[in-house]
Amino acid sequence: MTAVMDSPDIEDSGEIEEKKVSAIRRIRPKEFKPSDVVILLLTLAASYSIIWIIFAQLTLLSGALGFVVLWIPTFLFLYWFVNRQMFTRQVAVDRLIGSIVTLGAGIMMLPLVMLTIFVFQKGLPLLSWDVLTKTQQGVVYTGPSGNNIGGVAHALVGTIEEVAIAAAIGIPAALLTAVFINEVGGRFTKSVRVVVTAMSGTPAIVAGVFIYSIWVTKFHYSGFAGALALAIILLPTVTRGTEEVLKVVHNDLREAAIALAAPEWRTVWSVVLPTARSGLITSVLLGVAISIGETAPLIMTIFGNQVMNANPFVGPQMGLSLLSYKQIKLPIQSQIDLGYTSALVLFVLVFGIFILARILGAQRKGSGGGRRSLLSFVRWTPGSALEPNESAVVKKEEFSSD
């Protein structure tokens, strides 16, 4: 028999491995303990105190913008220096980069937060059920205050109708264009992609002028003319988003469907589009949200109206964005407040669409479509690769979008 004795070398190697593991754990980016929070807060306070002393005591500098401009680099340097003294270089650099990224995200979010606060402060006091259900029919401006305010119901109905018609026209065209570029191809693919890219950079007022020249001059102002202009704006946004989503679909799914004798159109309809469904919904909703806030093309196409016009094909209509634009220019405070309330309703509508797009886009790819059997959409036709009398046995496989 052979006795196995514990070797001190083995114990030393085990301790070394444990030290390596602990060292690796110390530099994980996600590990942020309460003591690290204290370090962050103390560094913020120290950097603030240093800049305050420089501004208020040692120099004649003043202004909030200059204070912030000096405070940010001072904080970053102190935060890196403290972490470098207490931890390793990797930890210091990691937390410095993390602070810069977080600070950049906060700066990017600041305009949105300020805009949200501004719109709610200006539009919320006047918001009521009467404002949402009344129009401006019969509104008389009686002095600086304006006793009869009216409402935004006609603009809300007009916006919904115009965007719905624009979506009905632009979304199918955008989806077909994206499918042609990504799935069909051909010698015109590059030309179509160039046109779509050029349309993405076209100012919105150009779309309004274009529809005005070919439609309004012949058939006068209408909600349908505004919908055509919004469809032009919506088309490139949805097309580019859909094209990028279709590129994510694995080619293995396409090849498996073609191997089962599925025609190309059936492969796209039953495999590619269901797999990319969540991304398609997100692209469509983002395109709708962008078009719903446009004002310039509506000035040239729907003209505006103070009464309810539920027929988008006859007569001028009003939209929420156009109502805000017109009301804020008036010299009467009550009507200016109504313009801010209209902007608040439009903001909530657009924000709701963005939230819906975020929720649907966050779903797992292929959810709802679930696991799809490629054999479930293959239809036998005479002369196809899958003859009913063939002796070959095709194994039914389940494909998921993961």
- Whether 8 is in a domain gets the answer no
Residue 5 domain-assigned? no
Outline where 311-388 has alpha helix (H): 320-328, 333-362
Taking CA atoms, 125 is separated from 117, 136, 330, 338, 340, in Å, by 13, 19, 19, 10, 10
Tokens for 213?
């020249």
* Structural domain includes residue 304: yes
CA nearest neighbour of 283 among 313, 338, 228, 238:
238
d(CA 398, CA 402): 12
Please return the burial class of 160, using the count of CB atoms within 10 Å of its CB with bins 0-12, 13-18 and 19+: middle
**Where residue 373 sits, what CATH number does that domain have?**
1.10.3720.10
257 and 351 belong to one structural domain: yes
pLDDT at 206: 94
The answer to whether residues 279 and 181 belong to one domain is: yes
Q: What pLDDT is recorded for position 253?
A: 85
Give me the pLDDT at residue 399, please: 40
Same structural domain, 223 and 90: no
Domain that holds residue 218: 153-381+388-399
168 and 286 share a domain?
A: yes
What residue type is 161 in one-letter code? E
Q: What total number of domains does the chain contain?
A: 2
pLDDT at 294: 92
Instruction: Evaluate whether residue 58 is within a structural domain.
Output: yes
| CA gap 294, 298 in Å, rounded | 7
Q: pLDDT tens digits, the chain, 402 residues: what are they?
A: 444 444 444 445 555 555 544 544 454 555 678 888 899 999 999 999 998 888 877 777 777 888 888 899 999 999 999 999 988 888 889 889 989 999 999 999 999 899 999 999 999 999 999 899 999 887 776 555 445 788 999 999 999 999 999 999 999 999 999 999 988 877 888 899 999 999 988 899 999 999 999 999 999 999 999 999 999 999 999 999 999 999 888 888 888 888 888 888 888 888 888 888 888 988 999 899 889 989 999 999 999 988 999 999 999 999 999 999 999 988 888 889 999 999 999 999 988 888 887 787 675 444 444 444 444 444 444 444 444 434 333 333 444 444
Q: Are residues 331 and 281 in the same domain?
A: yes
Q: Are residues 223 and 329 in the same domain?
A: yes
Question: Does residue 146 lie within any of the structural domains?
Answer: no
Cβ atoms of residues 264 and 214 within 8 Å: no
pTM, whole model, 2 decimals?
0.74
Q: Which of 283, 254, 299, 261 is nearest to 354 (CA)?
A: 283
What pLDDT does residue 137 have? Answer: 85
- Is 368 among the domain residues? yes
CA distances from 39 to 59, 73, 82, 188 (A): 28, 17, 8, 60
Do 89 and 175 fall within a single domain? Answer: no
Other beta carbons within 10 Å of 310: 10
- Name residues whose C-beta falls within 8 Å of residue 82's C-beta, 6 or more positions apart in sequence: 39, 43
195: tokens are 């046109």
Does 85 share its domain with 165? Answer: no
Question: Domain for residue 235, yes or no?
Answer: yes
Tokens in use for 330?
């008036």
Name 293's Cβ contacts closer than 8 Å, sequence gap at least 6: 321, 346, 350
* End-to-end Cα distance, the chain: 55
**Tell me, what's the pLDDT at 142?**
58
Asked if residue 250 is part of any domain, the answer here is: yes
